[in-house]
Structure 1
């Protein structure tokens, strides 16, 4: 049998995490280094691999129920190679160091089991869709595989150059950065997304680190109807469109 498809063969590498292609992650397991992955994200594997639901502590369950942030994971162990993907999202591997990383849990595909995760609050006067009041802080040393809709932009933040990012396009940032959340509106029109421009909420990052932005916003077009009422249309409160936008669902 012959076909151009055979050019898409496995990547040969000694690395633990390998981006097989822009939308597919390859992870090598050696028997003593489990990986945690989004449930249902396995698309293929070779070798003797076990897949088990990952235990959540009571505090983790409560935090996820209360904030909407948290990881629904499976534990992959054994010896072999596992391939992960989710809705053909673009995959990126990040080395987490002592500074840590803050991320929306919806963008996490897989991570080393040695890393620590904790739900943290991002100060906000209003509940918004997209990057809301709560995010996931990942600390320790290890690798995390993130997903984005399209090829992302990595923006460097320095003490003399802060960065503003649309709250619906931000994926992750250095935990050491100072974050301010604000509305791109006047106080008299806070329920409108900056008049008819379609721009609404933003995060300002200050300090030294990075901010990862994807070329896709969680919110639907300005006048689309998602959820219930005006708040849903403009991405406000518990009726915001974060969990209902069909083009950006990672369930």
Structure 2
């Protein structure tokens, strides 16, 4: 049998993490270090690999119940190669260092099991449209595989150059940045979208680091909880200030 499909063979590399193609992640396991992946994200594997549901502590369960933010993970261990993907979204690898990474949990595909993640609140008076005002703070040393709908934009933030981005398009940012939510609107009601432009809440980043933005505000990742209908556009859905996570008080 012959076909151009045979050009799409697996990557021959000794690296633990490899982007097999823009929408597919390859992870090599040697039996020593496990990888945590989004539940249901495995599309193929070779070798002796086992998949188990990842334990959630009481604190993680309480955080998920109060904020809607958290990770549904499976632990992958053994010896072999496993491939992960989610709705053909683009995959990107990030090395987490001492500065840490803040990310919307809906865009996490996989991570090293040595990393820690906790729920943190974004500094805002109102709920963030769509993405939720609670995020995950990932700390430690290791790799995280993020997903975006399309090729993203990495924006550098410096002390003399702050960045504003649509809250629905922000995927992740350096944890050392100062972050505030704002709505540049001339409307007297903060719940209204910005006049007739269709624009709403923004995140403002200040300090030294980066902010990762995807070219989409519509296509939500699998299992993402963004509220219901038009309410989610105004921060009033399940992820909004008038939903489950009122008061921005979770810690």
Cross-structure match for 2:235: 236
C-alpha deviation, 1:187, in angstroms? 5.6
Query: For the residues of structure 2 that align with 1:160 and 1:187, how far apart are their CA atoms?
Result: 29
Cα 1:47–1:219 change in 2 (3 A) is closer
- Within 5 Å, which residues of 2 pair with 1:92-241? 92-186=92-186, 188-218=188-218, 227=228, 232=231, 234-239=233-238
SS of residue in 1 equivalent to 2:64: helix
Answer whether contact 2:162 2:205 (CA < 8 A) is retained: yes
For residues 51 and 171 of structure 2, the distance between their equivalents in structure 1, rounded to whole angstroms, comes to 27
Residues 2-17 of structure 1 mapped to structure 2, 5 A cutoff: 2-17=2-17
Give the gaps of 5 or more residues in structure 1.
221-225, 242-251
Change (3 A) 1:167 1:219: farther
- Give 1:132 shift: 2.1
Q: Is the 8 A contact 1:130 1:219 kept in 2?
A: no
| 1:126 positional shift | 1.6
Counterpart-to-counterpart distance in 2, 1:37 and 1:167? 25
Determine the C-alpha separation between the residues in 1 that align with 2:232 and 2:123. Answer: 23
- What displacement does 1:128 show? 3.0
The 5 A counterparts of 1:50-65 are 50-65=50-65
Report how many residues are paired.
Answer: 234
Structure 2: gaps of 5 or more residues: 221-226, 241-251
Report the Cα distance in structure 1 between the residues aligned to 2:85 and 2:59, rounded to whole angstroms.
28
Q: Describe the SS at the equivalent of 1:65.
A: helix
CA shift, 1:219, in A, is 8.4
Query: 2:83 aligns to what?
Result: 83
What's the CA shift string for 1:56-78, capped at 9, x where partnerless? Answer: 00110110111011100000000
Q: Distance in 2 between matches of 1:219 and 1:52?
A: 29
Aligned-pair CA distance for 1:237: 1.7
- Deviation of 1:99 (Å): 0.3
CA contact (8 A) 1:219 1:235 kept: no
- In structure 1, the residue matched to 2:247 is none
Other structure's SS at 1:12 match: coil
Provide runs of 4+ in structure 1 moved above 6 Å: none
Is 1:33 the counterpart of 2:33? The answer is: yes
SS of the residue corresponding to residue 237 of structure 1 reads: coil
Matched residue SS, 2:237: helix
CA distance in 2, matches of 1:93, 1:219: 21
The two structures have a TM-score, normalised by structure 2, of 0.89
- Alpha-carbon distance change, 190 to 108 in structure 1, aligned in 2, over 3 angstroms: same
Aligned to 2:246: none
The structure, 1 or 2, with the larger RCO (C-alpha pairs under 8 Å, 6+ apart) is: 2
